[in-house]
Amino acid sequence: MKRQTIFEPNFKKIHNIFFIFAVFLAISVLFYSTFFTDGIKQAKAGISQNVSGWAWGDNFGWISFNCTDTDICGSVDYGVNTAIDGDMSGYAWSDNAGWITFNESDLVNCPSGACKAKLAGNNLQGWARALSYGDGWDGWISLNGLGYGITLNGNNLEEFAWDSSDINGQAIGHGWINFNPSFGGVIVTPDTAIAVDLNANPTTVASGDNSTLSWTSENAISCVASVGWSGSKALSGSEVVGPHTSDTVYRITCNNALSSANDDATVFVSSLTYQCSDGIDNDGDGKIDVADPGCYDTGAYDPTDDNETDTLSQCSNFFDDDGDGLIDYPNDPGCSGASDSKEFNIIFEEF
C-alpha cells in the first residue's frame, strides 16, 4: 500500500519566512529609533504640562495630550502646555499619526492666518501639526475656522479641530478631531495660581475724606477695577480714592489666559463727629479743624483727632504758629527749645 504524506515540512519556505520577519523587525527598530526616539527627546515632561486627556478622530484614533494619561511618564515624557498668556507648546501623541506638535517653531508657514497655537479668551487659535506628514498630506490641523473651533468651557476644551489638505482639488487628511468625545475629553488644569491683594489706608475716614488703595498681583497678565471704582489697572500700584460720604467697597480682578482671582477692600466712613473735622472752633483759639495746630499731634492733619486743644508746645507741634514759614525748634529762631511754648520771634529794639 502506498504511504500518504500528511505533512512534510518545507524548510526552505520556513527559512524565507523567518528571514522576512527578521528584516521587518530590523526596519521597525530603525524606524522607531529615528522617529519616535527623536520625538521623545523634543517632548517636554508630561508632569510639568497642564493639558491632559484624550481627543478622538475617526482616522487619527485616540490622541493623548499628556503622558500622565497612560502613566508612562517614567519612560516617555510628553505633554501639551498652555502658558498664562495663552501660548501653547509641547506634543500630543496618536498611535496612528505619531507626534502632533503645538510648538511655535514647528508651525511656521502654516496654510493661513496666525500660525501660533494660542488660547485667546475662551477660544483656541492657530494650528497644530502632525510630524509624520508626507505623501501629499501636510499634517496641518486647524484649531479654528469658519463654523468650527476649539473652545474652553470651564477647564474643558470642547468642539472640533480639522485636518485636511487640498491637493489638486481633493481633500486629503484625517478629518475632524473631537476634543470632548464620549469616554474621553481634554482638560486644562491651571498649574500657576493667581494671587491678588488689595488694601485701603486708612480703612476708616471722616466723611468727605480720601483713602489710598494699594494692590499687588502674581501670575496675572491684566487687572481691572470694579465695585466702587473702574477701569484697567496695572498689575500692582496705588490710587487715591474718595471723597467718601458712605462706606465703599472696592474690588480688583486680575486675570491670565487660564484663570482669574479678585480681592476686595472696604473704606468705612466714621459715624462719629471729631473736633478736628466738625467745622467748629472747639478750643476757642480762633482756628478751626485743618487750621488748628491742635489737630497735628501726629505730625500731619488728623481729621479723626477728637481733641482740638493744642496739647503740644508751639515749638514741637509741627505747626507754623507765628506764620514766619519756619516750624518748631530748631528751625524757628523764636524757639529756645522744643518745650518752648511760644514760637514768636523776640525782637529787640535799641533806644
Q: What's phi and psi for 199, nearest 5 deg?
A: -135, 155
CATH class of 195-269: mainly beta
Q: Where are the domains of the chain?
A: 36-188, 195-269
Q: Which three three-digit cell numbers place residue 131?
A: 510630524
Among 33-42, 103-112, 255-264, the range scoring the smallest mean pLDDT is: 33-42
pLDDT digits (tens, 9 = 90+) for 96-120: 999 999 999 999 999 999 999 999 9
Is the Cβ–Cβ distance between 210 and 241 less than 8 Å? yes
Is the Cβ–Cβ distance between 225 and 252 less than 8 Å? yes
Residue corresponding to grid cell 478751626: 288
CA-based nearest residue to 55, from 157, 133, 132, 144? 157
Judged on CB neighbours under 10 Å (0-12, 13-18, 19+), 31 is exposed
Residue 46 DSSP class: G
The per-residue pLDDT for 29 is 38
The per-residue pLDDT for 171 is 57
Residue with the bigger pLDDT between 248 and 335: it is: 248
The per-residue pLDDT for 16 is 46
- Say yes or no to pLDDT of 23 above 50: no
The per-residue pLDDT for 310 is 74
- Say yes or no to pLDDT of 311 above 90: no
| Apex 264 CA angle, 260 and 268, nearest 5 | 170
pLDDT digits (tens, 9 = 90+) for 325-349: 888 888 988 898 877 878 776 655 5
Q: How many residues does the chain have?
A: 351
- Say yes or no to pLDDT of 174 above 90: no
Count of C-beta atoms within a 10 Å radius of residue 341: 13
Mean residue pLDDT across the chain:
83
